[in-house]
Amino acid sequence: MADRYYGNSGSNDCGCVTCPDTPAVKAPELKQNQTHANHVQAGPGLTALDGIGCDCDDDDACSSTQTNRRNEEKKEQRIRGIILRYARENWQLGASFTVFFYGLFSGLEGQAKFAVFALAYILIARGVLADAVKGVVKGRMLDENFLMGIASIVAFTIGEYSEGVAVMLFYQVGQMAEHYALNRSKKSISALLDIQPVFANIKAPTGVKRVDPSNVKIGDTIVVKAGEKIPLDGTVISGNSSLDTSAITGESLPASVGRESGVYSGSINLSAVIEVRVEKDYENSTVSKIIELVEKTNQNKAKTEKFITKFAKVYTPIVVMAAILIAVFPPLLLAEPFSKWIYRAAIFLVVSCPCALVISVPLGYFGGIGGAARAGILIKGGNFLEALKDVGTVVFDKTGTLTMGNFEINRVEALNGYTEADILRISAHLEGFSNHPIARAISQKYDNPLDQGDVRDITEIPGKGVEGLYQGAHALIGNEAMMAEYGVDVPDYNGSGTLLFVAIDRHLCGILSITDELKKGAAKGIQALKNAGIDQVVMLTGDREGIARRIAGKLGITRVFSQLLPHEKVGHLESVIKTAGSKKVVFVGDGINDAPVLSRADVGIAMGGLGSDIAIEAADVVLMTDEITKIAEAVHLSRFTGRIIWQNIILALGVKALIMVLGVVGIANMWIAIFGDVGVAILAILNSGRAIYFSRGE
């Protein structure tokens, strides 16, 4: 193996981020240089040494390393605690099963048999009975713990010891299966939490220091080495590498980045050292936004979930009353033994437990949301996932959503004695205070320093343009609507781009034609929506009608609303909603101006890659890759999840109803009732898990 050098933090090959002044050493010599080895981060094929003291002068760096070590120790303690907790919880289940099987096959009779099964029952039933008592005290008398407790005690009372224990044993097995499946579904979502970086290598005058990402400021430079997570959003200023963005975008192929490439926090640097200029603080970085969205996913329940919760509250008291009637009236009317009908009532109670319904429905939505997260689609709750299956209309914003938002000036026309250079200079000075993509395009075209003394009183008018004073004269740059508002006459123009008009003292002096290219895959995404059965696709834009129609034609969109101001988009969306009938309307956008429309739609979808923070906050669904094709994928996933949930509901209610009838007429015994509860619940859980691994081929 070739020597790999570590040492001076100013070098791109540095492997030590906390001892910047330590002389370079070769990897094979690390064991001899123990004071430095504590801070060496291993490269490929190497193992970092730890637990050795540090004598460097960088107290902050050493403190940071000690903090990281303490965090690792706490993590190990948590893992050990989890293992011990599971051992404590599950030994009772194992012990109860052992005693139970001994009682079944030992041939014991009388009191000995009762003692063995009573021991098995006590081992497994204590927690359930305690929860049943707590439920009664808190007013939740008829929950599943109460039902199982009563049914198992009844079985013991009439001498069916093995069946009484079996009720509790398999109920606990079902609970374990439910918890495992639910945790697995949650992990498919919360696995995104693993993208949270724990440190940042900040470039300082004294070298590179390892700090907490929350302590890094906008404008700071951070160093990201191969194998490390990018801690904050920013722009690459040095180096070329490949990034694993799968946790953010769902894209499995590595993304190549170089100078001026934007990078997301949570991505993993795969191949080489890069330096990144931080563009967002930690609180507003991509990884923080994703974690916030993930943590809120279970707060927005789907209508089906809410219905099942309400249904269970009504259903359970009804079946308890029915069980009481079964236990009391047939013996009185038919002059048969009470024990016979009490046993049948116990069967009725066991099979009537609503566990399969209560767990499988939310589990199905968790699975669907988890499957979407794996594909780079963040859905903020089960209600939005459910709504997507009923979408009939998808409404798109144009700029930045269907087009790249990378504007370029393709023509400058000077009028009334002005030159093209004059028009560019005036435009660049007026737009110099704006962050709008068009403003950036003008600044790039001008590519000269701005004289801030030439402009003052700048006012940006949303959806129209900019007004201000340029060298003491009243100046305007904006669209036709703005020119009309100030009484500036503009000529008819048949160009292919977006038009900006420049006026001085309310006299037109120039026209800028600005083009924007279609987003890759936009046409394919629109066709995918049509193939998914979407009734209509609509485009809203502030552009002129000619440009809007031309772009819509390329994409296969037939319904277009053009020359709209931001507030007018809401009005047009509402008119679309009125004509959509019972079907849902989705709006897809990316900009600050789209936030009101995203909030008004039945489902708002924001572009997470290029979209503004406000748009992402207002949206119900976030596409981390900005791919239009992901919308159709989300619709298919929603429908697939909906089918799974209804399969679970029909399975649970159908099997339970059948076994209830068979139990009442004496055909089904307690073992069949246990299958009707635990078995059906496990089948529903397994079915729900399919949503996590959804692919378009299903």
Q: What are the catalytic residues? A: 397
Helix (H) or strand (E) run with residue 32 in it = none
Provide the 3-class DSSP secondary structure of residue 520: coil
Q: How many CA atoms are closer than 13 Å to the CA of 166, on its beta-carbon side?
A: 21
φ and ψ of 585, to 5 deg = -120, 130
Nearest to 344 by CA among 156, 471, 203, 155: 155
Nearest to 513 by CA among 491, 486, 487: 491
CB 241 within 8 Å of CB 274: yes
> How far apart are the C-alpha atoms of 659 and 292, rounded to whole Å?
44
Angle between helices 161-190 and 680-689 (to 10 degrees): 10
Q: How many CA atoms are closer than 13 Å to the CA of 99, on its beta-carbon side?
A: 23
Characterize the bridge pairing of strands 391-397 and 536-540.
parallel
Strand-pair partners of 465: 461, 478
Range 447-451 contact pairs with CB under 8 angstroms and sequence separation of 24 or more: none
Residue labelled with tokens 């139990």: 663
φ and ψ of 472, to 5 deg = 85, -10
Provide the 3-class DSSP secondary structure of residue 164: helix
At 89, list the tokens: 């919880």
> How far apart are the C-alpha atoms of 52 and 35, rounded to whole Å?
7
* DSSP state string for 179-222: HHHHHHHHHHHHGGGGG----EEEEETTEEEEE-GGG--TT-EE
> How far apart are the C-alpha atoms of 543 and 564, rounded to whole Å?
7
Chain mean position to CA 597: 21
CB 394 within 8 Å of CB 586: yes
CB 633 within 8 Å of CB 389: no
